[in-house]
Amino acid sequence: MLGDPDRRRQAVAEHPRVRCAASPEELWPRAAELDLIVIASPNRTHVPLARAALTAGLPVVVDKPLAATAAEAEELAALAEERGLLLTAFQNRRWDNDFRTLRHLLDQGALGDVQRFESRFERWRPKPKGGWRESGDPAQIGGLLYDLGSHLVDQALTLFGPAASVYAEMDVRRPGAEADDDVFIALTHTGGVRSHLWMSATTAQLGPRFRVLGSRAGYVKYGLDPQEAALREGRRPGTEGERWGVEPESAWGRLGAGESPATGGGDPVPSLPGDYPAFYAAVAAALRDGGAPPVTAREAAEALRVLEAARISAAGGRTVPITGAA
């Protein structure tokens, strides 16, 4: 699906056996030749392309967000179920090194009962880059709420279950910016945990990636998973052996109670390697064995329900209950 001649040439150069198509419509008649459709196009195209692929009888991976609304996501989920096809959202941040490490700590009970979960994707980009991701046109589904917020909310729901209510603040801070570039979301989960989530392009001093407080201990982690930076540098999984997704000891988070990680307090916790390839390994297993995909469309719909509530909350300055929360 490469209409850009330069990208077509790059694809052929990097993958000599690849076959390119100029438009999605060229693919649907060839459905019998294909095993899977991966949709990584602009957000506004996710629903129509996923619907067309499923209608053609093809399993589908869709980049986040799966859709603009929970209702659209539920519609796609129903279509996939009706046709017996895999439909999954590419929530790769579930395979970040920090998230994998935190999940391991929670499984071990190292923090006790979690009371507060703080999570941040913060950047310092004082000048807008433009493009559809920063467009103010609602049809483009741009802005940080749907970009980084899709990851942060998915992680919070995965760790601590459904949200009962949402409070949010959304701002457009940068001169010339059109879409939200500074967002805060507070979730109250049905199990009692409170999640505070920040996503920003205007953060001059970055906060911790995770700060998780429990009845027994807290876990604080700074810095981002190294996989995205490695991919941007042209490195690829499978070429670095067991070193893929590994970060230096200096970047490890710290676990403790009563100490300050900023001054070296607490015990260092070795970060598990980041493992984006595990997502597609799980997709392949689901296609072969008929099991559940690594991220279900219904899970994607629940995250979208939270994002929609966050937008309503920010517009009205009020806490919004999540319909159907237990």
Q: What is the pLDDT of residues 9-37, one digit of tens each?
A: 988 998 999 999 989 999 999 999 999 99
Q: What is the pLDDT of residues 94-131, one digit of tens each?
A: 999 999 999 999 999 999 999 999 999 999 999 999 99
Question: Which pLDDT does position 324 carry in this prediction?
Answer: 65
Is the pTM higher than 0.85? The answer reads yes
Question: Which pLDDT does position 1 carry in this prediction?
Answer: 43
Say whether pLDDT at 259 is over 50.
yes
- What domains are there in the chain, each with its CATH number? 5-92+280-290 (3.40.50.720), 93-278+308-316 (3.30.360.10)
| Whole-number average pLDDT of the chain | 95
In b/e form, how buried is each residue of 132-159, taking b as 16+ CB within 10 angstroms?
A: ebbbeeeebbbbbbbbbbbbbbbbbbbb
Say whether pLDDT at 2 is over 80.
no
Cα–Cα dist 41/25, whole Å: 14
Question: Which pLDDT does position 325 carry in this prediction?
Answer: 57
Q: Which residues pair with 61 in a beta bridge?
A: 38, 88
Per-residue pLDDT band for 211 (boundaries 50, 70, 90) equals very high
Cα–Cα dist 181/196, whole Å: 17
